[in-house]
Structures are given as structure tokens and as C-alpha cells.
Amino acid sequence: MNKEQAIEILSKNQATLAALNHAVSILYIDGETIAPPGSAQKRAVTLGELSRMAYDLVTDREAVAALEYLYGVREELDPVTRRNVSELWRDLDDTRKIPKEEAAEYSMLLAEASAVWHEAKVKSDYALFAPWLEKVFDGAKRRAAYLDPTRDPYDVTMDQFERGLTSEKCDAFFAELRGRIAPLIAKVGDAEQVDDSPILALYSIEEQRKISDFAMDFLGLDRRYCVLGETEHPFMANVDKHDVRIHTHYYAENFLWSLYSVVHEGGHALYELHVGDELTGTSLAGGCSMSIHESQSRFFENYIGRSRAFTDRFYDFLLDAYPSRIGIVSKDEFYRMVNKAEPSLIRTEADELTYSMHVMIRYDLERRIFDGSLCVADLPREWNRLYGEYLGIDVPDDRRGVLQDSHWSNANIGYFPSYALGSAYGAQYLAEMKKEFDPFAAAASGDLSPVRNWLEKKIWRHGRMMDPTDLFRSVCGEFRPSVYADYLEEKFTALYNL
């Protein structure tokens, strides 16, 4: 075998695998959006079969021999091929550690668990979901043990979403953050409160759909390759850079919820839409890690989307599109309403200040389930207790409590810390951008291209060419949570006249 032959064998194998992955993505999106509720079982069987086919492709003798050959000569390869080969080698190693049937059955389990979670959330019926959740957690623990029996299983699980992240790092980050945020939340609680009730229900769902168009245009999302759908729990999913889907959920009682879901998922979408063309068809063509991904979505949602520059522009749009309605409040009041900080039940609807507390609660619970000190049956009780401890609020039902997130039914366990990390990264992006240009002037002008171009150059186009910590360091130097805490302190001190 020579290099060219090996590359050809591997490319062919990867092209077939890409077709299977494409099918899996669309089946997943279909299941989360428009599929009939009674179709979950068949979809589960199909995903199990496709998982077996993918296993056979990844472990195909000829493809493995080609990969092995290329891995041996990796120093002679161009940078993209070298990184691709290294990543595929790593993936192959992981794939081989987990028995084929275990992987197939886990795919099947998740497809069904997701459908059960949808039903359980609507009915606020934790008992319906619990047996499935137990199986999902058990499966995740078994996978961690297969992947690396020598390490802490929760660290192994986190590593799947964020290479290099450990409980030790999370503990240090969360301790610092909570130490700064908790007193700030208390101070805001003692200050004069903001009443946003006059504006929340001003726009019908049909009107909110037009507001979504405004948000997508503001972000600069290319509609040829990015569409908006509707679902229970907002998410972004993509096939490649030419097929990106964002999904939102409209609520008649609060038009801001969907708006900020669209901006958040739109941030994820921008990332995928701008991965470098030279990575197309490789394993590198996608977001680097979940914290880097969430740092994009949270950046557009909060640093840009909840800035005065954006809220003023949005206010003007609303006044123009639906004359007089938003005029019942001033631009200043609107900015304060959009940024109202208050302990609340739902993570995705939380303000910037209290958001990370929601993440810490989930991190705490997941770790204890993983180390065996908490069982799935006790999850709602502990969830509710922690919402009291961290945020001082009572959880009225499981729908707005332990059943609120889709993550666990999809085995996204060890994923939540990425949201807090990503939120914190944004403060350092902002500081770096300000050295070169004014991102808020861009937002105010309605032309975000300076922001997009900066992120594209520094982050988006690189796909998975670097590990997440290296990528972040290349953009901002060392990670300093204090920059995030400073940002929050400054913003909310001004907003609440603390």
C-alpha cells in the first residue's frame, strides 16, 4: 500500500460513513420535530441497524489497514490530512472499545427514551421517564468504563463533549464563579425589581415567527443553507455546512423566550455554516467541542443579543413592524426588561446572571449519579432541593423541574458544564474583539460582519483542527473566569444601580 492508495481507500470508507451519518442526523431531527409520536419504536430499530452498519464500516479491515498505514506516516502528510488521520485513529480506538451490540442497543434506547421524555414532559410525569433515564445513565456509565476503566467515569463522560475537561477543573471554575455570582444575585434581589409583564405577551405566535426572521437576518444566517423549524426543546442540528437547522418553541405568554432561543441556536448555526471548505469531507468539518460551540451561541444570545445596541435596534424593528405596541415602554425600560435578573425555574430562559447556577445544579446531580451516591428515583427530590439551595426557589412540578431539558434522554450527560464554560469564554472574546473594533457599534448598525469575520477567522473556519483548550488559548490566552465575573458584576451593577 502507498500513501495515495491508502488515502483513496479511507476516503471511500469515509464517504459511505458520511451518508450513514447524514441519515442518522435527519432521522434524529425528524424524531425531534415532525415524526408521528407512534413512530419511535421503528426509528429506534432503524438507528440500531445504522449503528451496526457504521461499526462495520469504521472497523472494516481494509479501511483500518489504510488508516494504520497513514497514521504511521502521519508526519509526511499535509496538516489537514494529518489531523484527520489522528482523529480517525482516536475514533477507531473508541469504537473498538465498545462492543458493537452495546453501541447499537444504546442507539435504540436513546431513540425510544427521547420519545418517552417528550411525553413525560408534556404530562409532567417523572415516573414514566424514570425507568428509561435509569437505563440511559447505566449505559453512559458502562460506556465510560469501556472507554477508560482507569479514570473517573464522569471525567471520561465529560471528555466526550469537551476533550480534556475534568471534575477538578470544573470544581475550581464553579467555585470561583459561584463565589462571585451568589453575592451579586443576593444584591440584585434586594434592589428595586424590574416588571417586564407589560410587554411579554404583546406578540402572537404568528408575529413571533416574523420576529424570528428579523433575528435570523440580524445574525446574517444564509437561508439557502439554514432553516428554522419548531420543536419542544430548541436545538440546532446540522448535516454539514450546507445544511443547518435551528429549531425554536414559541410561547404566547413570552415572546422573548423564542427570540433568544433563535439567537442562541443561530450562534451555533453560524459556527457550522463557516467551517473551512478545506475540511469538507473530513472528520474535522464541524464545531471543535461543546464549550467552544456554546461559547458561540451564548455569545450571540447574551454579549450581543442582550446588549443595549441590540435591544435598541430590536425595539426600533418592533415599533416599525407592529406600530405603537412596544411604545408603551421606553428603550431604556425595554433594555432593563430584557435583562431582568431573577432566580427562575427554566435554564434556557434564565438571565445571564443566574444562568450558571442552573448548570452547577445539573453538574452536581450528574456527578452524584455517576459515583453512586444518588439514584435516579431520588433525582426530582434532589433537583428541587438544589433549586432551593442555589437559587432560593420552589419547583412546582417536574415539567418545570427535572424533566425540562432534553439532554439526558439524548445521553448528553457531562455536557452541561460546556454551557457555563462557553458563557465565560465569551467575556474574553469580547475583550479581545474590543482591541480591534467595537462589536456593539456593529450590532447597533445592524451589520454584524465585523463580529462574524473575527469569529470566523479565529474560531469557525478551523473546525476540529485543534483541541478546544488549544483553540481557546490561540484566541484569548489563558482562561480566566474572573473576566466573566467582572463582566457580570459591571453589567448588573449598572442595570440595578447597586
Interacting residues with its own copies (CB under 8 A): 15-16, 18-19, 22-23, 26-27, 29-30, 33-39, 41-43, 45-46, 48-50, 52-53, 206, 222-227, 229, 239-240, 242-245
CB nearer to its own copies: give 34 or 252: 34
In whole angstroms, the minimum distance from the beta carbon of 56 to its own copies comes to: 10
8 catalytic per annotation: no
- Indicate the pairing of strand 243-248 with strand 235-240: antiparallel
In whole angstroms, the minimum distance from the beta carbon of 206 to its own copies comes to: 7
CB nearer to its own copies: give 10 or 181: 10
CB nearer to its own copies: give 195 or 277: 277
Measured CA to CA, the distance from residue 17 to residue 50 in angstroms comes to: 10
CB nearer to its own copies: give 34 or 172: 34
Phi and psi torsions of 229, nearest 5°: -125, -175
Cell of 427: 467575556
In whole angstroms, the minimum distance from the beta carbon of 228 to its own copies comes to: 9
CB nearer to its own copies: give 45 or 128: 45
CB nearer to its own copies: give 17 or 288: 17
Contacts 24+ apart (CB under 8 A), 320-325: 321/207, 321/210, 321/211, 321/214, 322/202, 322/203, 322/207, 325/202, 325/203
In whole angstroms, the minimum distance from the beta carbon of 286 to its own copies comes to: 14
In whole angstroms, the minimum distance from the beta carbon of 48 to its own copies comes to: 8
In whole angstroms, the minimum distance from the beta carbon of 41 to its own copies comes to: 7
Rg, Å, the chain Cα set: 23
In whole angstroms, the minimum distance from the beta carbon of 11 to its own copies comes to: 13
CB nearer to its own copies: give 50 or 444: 50
SS (H, E, C) the chain: CCHHHHHHHHHHHHHHHHHHHHHHHHHHHHHHCCCCHHHHHHHHHHHHHHHHHHHHHHCCHHHHHHHHHHHHCHHHCCHHHHHHHHHHHHHHHHHHHCCHHHHHHHHHHHHHHHHHHHHHHHHCCHHHHHHHHHHHHHHHHHHHHHHCCCCCHHHHHHHHHCCCCCHHHHHHHHHHHHHHHHHHHHHHHHCCCCCCHHHHCCCCHHHHHHHHHHHHHHHCCCCCCEEEEECCCCEEEEEECCEEEEEECCCCCCHHHHHHHHHHHHHHHHHHHCCCHHHCCCCCCCCCCHHHHHHHHHHHHHHHCCCHHHHHHHHHHHHHHCCCCHHHCCHHHHHHHHCCCCCCCCHHHCCCCCHHHHHHHHHHHHHHHHCCCCCHHHHHHHHHHHHHHHHCCCCCCHHHCCCCCCCHHHCCCCCCHHHHHHHHHHHHHHHHHHHHCCHHHHHHHCCCHHHHHHHHHHCHHHCCCCCHHHHHHHHHCCCCHHHHHHHHHHHHHHHCCC
CB nearer to its own copies: give 112 or 489: 112
Degrees, nearest 5: CA angle 175-165-408: 90
In whole angstroms, the minimum distance from the beta carbon of 367 to its own copies comes to: 36
Catalytic residue among 32, 112, 162, 265: 265
In whole angstroms, the minimum distance from the beta carbon of 29 to its own copies comes to: 8
CB nearer to its own copies: give 16 or 493: 16
Catalytically annotated residues: 265
